[in-house]
Copies of this chain bind each other. A is one copy, B any other.
Amino acid sequence: MKDVQNEQDSRNISIDRVGVSGVSYPIVVLDPEFSEQHTVARVRMSVSLAGDTRGTHMSRFIGLLNDFQGKVTLENLEDMVDIIQESLGGEKAQLSFEFPYFIKRKAPVSRIESYSGYDVVFWSSREKDRFDFILQVRVPVQTLCPCSREIAETGAHNQRAYVDISVRMKNLVWIEEIVDIGERAASAPVFSLLKREDEKYITEFAYSNPRFVEDVAREAVLELEKDDRITWFRVQVTSQESIHNHDAFAEIERDKRI
């Protein structure tokens, strides 16, 4: 059968990224507590394409997922982008996995345990011989407004917020560590399961710890700056303001390598 993708292309326009997206796939990731964790990823895989070739061979992307049987470690990611690059012949290859990751958490007072879910992205790429990896973690938290607390006689508006932290690293940083940074930066952490004594504690803790989105971003930056394993980071805080029907947000990106 004719291989239309392999045809010569006379338009001479190279393509930055061509591939598949929205692929749902079961994966296994490393978990420091239970050694591995089964979850489900949304996968995006692409390669660059030279100006003289008509199309890429999309089925090889999915074949690769099968070959690795969904084992997604940092080592495997590097192997996978290598194989994409080689088998599809592009200068650049990109591969990302988005998945929910669960951590067993203890409530602050009752110590009762439950799972908290975090949306994680493993993003990796290879350009010529340079491998790049970004870990992104979405940390749900509470923000309590310093202005509202200051000006109101009683109470202070607070709300659920999300701290999205992305890092490039030279030594391994666990998802759990990023979650901790995001939580410490906020007014309070959130939990799946709280008893009344925990709710009292969290309410009072948040009230004693008011934070604007600006504060949350800066507190996270303070920790990310001093961690030598991290070479680049981006912090995005989005707070679902409870006095508005829109969100407040703050973003800071820093590259320590320059």
A171: CB under 8 A from chain B? no
A13-56 Cβ-contact flags toward B at 8 Å (1 or 0) = 11111111111111000000000011110000010010000111
**Contact residue among B62, B145, B249 (Cβ-Cβ distance under 8 Å from A18):** B249
**Contact residue among B54, B145, B160, B251 (Cβ-Cβ distance under 8 Å from A214):** B54
Residues on B with beta carbons closer than 8 Å to the beta carbon of A221:
13
**Contact residue among B115, B159, B197, B252 (Cβ-Cβ distance under 8 Å from A16):** B252
A77: CB under 8 A from chain B? no
Kindly specify which of A80-88, A128-136, A148-156 makes contact with the partner chain. Answer: A148-156
Query: Contact: B154 with A243, CB < 8 Å?
Result: no
Query: Contact: A214 with B15, CB < 8 Å?
Result: yes
Query: Contact: A192 with B157, CB < 8 Å?
Result: no
**CA–CA, A222 to B9, complex, Å?**
13
Residues on B with beta carbons closer than 8 Å to the beta carbon of A208:
154
- Between A and B, 21 residue pairs with Cβ closer than 8 Å are A4-B150, A13-B222, A13-B252, A15-B252, A17-B250, A18-B251, A40-B100, A40-B117, A59-B193, A66-B114, A66-B193, A152-B207, A155-B155, A155-B156, A157-B203, A159-B240, A160-B240, A190-B244, A191-B244, A192-B245, A194-B244
A residues near B (Cβ < 8 Å) are 1-5, 9, 11, 13-26, 37-40, 46, 49, 54-56, 58-59, 62-63, 65-66, 100, 102, 112-117, 140, 142, 144-160, 188, 190-197, 199-200, 202-204, 206-208, 212-215, 217-219, 221-222, 238, 240-253
